[in-house]
Amino acid sequence: MSDSKNIYDLTIVGAGPVGLFAAFYAGIRKAKTKIIDSLPQLGGQLSTLYPEKYIYDVPGFPAIKASELIENLEKQIAPFAHETCLEEEVRNLVQEDGYLRIETSKGVHYSKAVILAIGNGSFQPRRLTIDGAAELEGNHVHYYVTDMNKFSGKKVAIAGGGDSAIDWALMLEPIAEKVSIIHRRPEFRGHEHSVDNLKNSEVLIYTPYVIDQLLVEDDSFKGIQLKETKADNFEKLDLDSLIINYGFTSSLGHLKDWGLNVSRNAIEVNSDMSTNIPGVYAVGDICNYDGKVKLIATGFGEAPTAVNNALHFIKPDARTQPMHSTSLFEGKEAKML
């Protein structure tokens, strides 16, 4: 927390994977850097919602757990000793004389430039809206998985039709006693390769079905009743746990009041990742431009662009095209190891 004008070069709002990589790049450019995030730990949604989920589209890794990716990113920024402010929600961003004033839930920070890496904003899971779901939440009804081992030897069903639901089903198959997946449409929405793996697995597939009822006897969860969409066919599944993966709703909260150009829940940026507010840049899922593809890999590429151009904004004679990382890291290798 800061309440005096200790002005940083860069303040990165958001400590997800893209924000962490931006912090790393700011470090090798020797920028005085601060990281602010509303969550209690680094890693954003990957740490909070999907620590056990495998990610398949990070270059150089055929597959990497979300928690491992975040651990590696933390190791990258460790040598730079950036100031990190967790459990602080940024509530306002104001231009003052030659710097930006960042007002949070805990205080005030000052920075010459700001990089917003806040993903989709604050998020909440889309919950199951049938009778009894709220009472079972956390014990038998789950919206994300932080430890797959607690489903060891259990009968588990996953409700959802996207990549995350499919990934959870495939990852739990060798751990749980039995895994089922339920989707309301005949076809899944996941990547073709993942869908093929699902169909070739031992996961039981129920399509097109929806959850019709939670089965509870003597206050004990027994399973669920399914109903086929557009038909009166019913199926009962004996379960220990039900994982709901209907996606998440996000909110940009105070962001809309800062004067940024926001369209379709994203900040419009230029090719240098700058926003309409001088000194404010945006990267990752929160930003939008023509042809934007929302992948972690895309955000990793946007981060150095934002850092380099932000530093050029701060000091116009600074290079926007820096040296190669091998040159930037001269003398740091031993410390990194």
DSSP string, 280-301: EEE-GGGEE-TT----HHHHHH
Contacts of 135 (CB under 8 A, 6+ apart): none
Closest CA to 30 of 319, 334, 277, 337: 319
Contacts of 288 (CB under 8 A, 6+ apart): 263, 264, 266, 267, 268, 269
For residue 43, what is the DSSP state? T
Distance (Å, rounded) from C-alpha 34 to C-alpha 145? 30
Say which residue the tokens 């926001």 belong to. 262
Annotated binding-site members for FAD: 37, 45, 50, 90, 123, 285, 326
User: Coil, strand, or helix at residue 122?
Assistant: strand
Cβ neighbours, 10 Å, residue 129: 9
* Helix-helix angle 163-172:192-199, to 10 degrees: 40
Closest CA to 133 of 215, 208, 210: 215
Annotated binding-site members: 37, 45, 50, 90, 123, 285, 326
Dihedral sign, CA of 284, 286, 290, 293?
A: positive
